[in-house]
Amino acid sequence: MINIRVPARICFYGDHQDYLGLPVIAGTIDRYINISATLNHTDRFEIQLKDIGTRRTINFNDSLEEVDEGDYFLSAIAVLKKSGLHLKHGYTVEIEGNIPLNAGLSSSSALTVAWIRFLLSSQEFPKTWTNKQVGHWAYEAEVLFFNQPGGLMDQYSIAQGGLIFIDTQKGETTKLSTKLGKLVVSESGLPKKTLDVLKNGRVYGQKAIKAVKQQYPDFNMKLASADDYEKYKHAVPEKYRAHWYAAVHNYQITKKAKKELLRENPDIKFLGGLMNAHQDILQNQIQNTPQPMIKMMEAAREAGALGTKIVGSGGGGCMVALVVEENMERVVQAFLSQGAKDAYEVNLTSS
């Protein structure tokens, strides 16, 4: 039998930055997708998705030329086949987990990474691989294969684990301190609007940066400072200025968070303040946070949370709060009192 366990992820700093080529800080938490598989001596995978009560059969001779949008099972096989994967062994596969679906904790990317790890473990593959390579294959399968607007943060962070700073241009990662305090995740109960939010964030952000570079060809976003928002604002059409602000200032927040998290004992109050500053931009400039979730996070901060933010692309889904131990239960109850579907403690996992 083969058993695979892959964690969920939270982006703490840098939401809506990776597709602009800017860095992010993300970490994996102790909520998981689990795959268990046994040989069935056929030329197919018999897959049971237990959490949603569906079954799927994939034959080894299935065509990979016309893969339905979002079929990451087949896109992952197609990506790995290009790298030398040979399907030789049939398996009966059970998939289940405790990551809330369509809620911002990247259940889909966790499943893709888990599926890739299963394929590599169960089939004939001629090469060695690293966790980073697994993340890149997952990124290819989810984003590049379907020409989607997302970045590589989800796949890279889930595949590598721990808390990491990701240079999304180079694909390089830096391990950071996991001494981030206590964490509470709250499920709002509101469905996400992933593709619409991502598309607007990506297009508007890219057009804002492009407008600046058209007038100032030497401008380098990776070298931008907080002062550059005002310095170059006149070059950005009014329609994209909010996303110009978000690009510049979220980048500064991420750099400050990285510097703090490289310390042996980071200041969690400072990090909570950065989280709040990041959320302020997400809800006011990116506009990805529904009003009910804003009220939930306000209540959590009033109950003692050091920082709160929406998780994932936005429009709904989950929130995370950075707390100290003595305020944990008060923060949980604050989320619930404002109508959250659920709230509970989570922990960062190691790499």
Instruction: Convert the pLDDT of each residue in 139-191 to its tens digit.
Output: 999 999 998 877 899 999 999 999 999 999 888 999 999 998 899 999 999 98
Give the separation between CA 337 and CA 334, rounded to whole angstroms. Answer: 5
Cα 123 to Cα 95, 118, 160, distances in angstroms: 18, 8, 22
How much is the pLDDT for 104?
Answer: 87
Indicate the pTM of the whole model.
0.92
What's the one-letter identity of residue 204? Y
Give the separation between CA 336 and CA 291, rounded to whole angstroms. Answer: 15
The string of pLDDT tens digits covering residues 282-319 is 999 998 899 999 999 999 999 999 999 999 877 899 99
What's the one-letter identity of residue 98? N
Max Cα distance, the chain (Å): 66
Buried b (16+ CB within 10 A) or exposed e, 79-114: bbeeeebebebbbebebebebbeebbbbbbbbbbbb
In order of their start, the domains of the chain are 2-175 (3.30.230.10)
With a pLDDT cut of 70, the percent of the chain lying above it is 98
What's the one-letter identity of residue 36? S
CB 163 within 8 A of CB 247: no
Give the separation between CA 158 and CA 257, rounded to whole angstroms. Answer: 20
| Contacts for 218 with CB less than 8 Å, ≥ 6 apart | none
Q: Which two tokens stand for residue 344?
A: 């509970």
CB 58 within 8 A of CB 44: yes
pLDDT band at 195 (very low <50, low <70, confident <90, very high): low
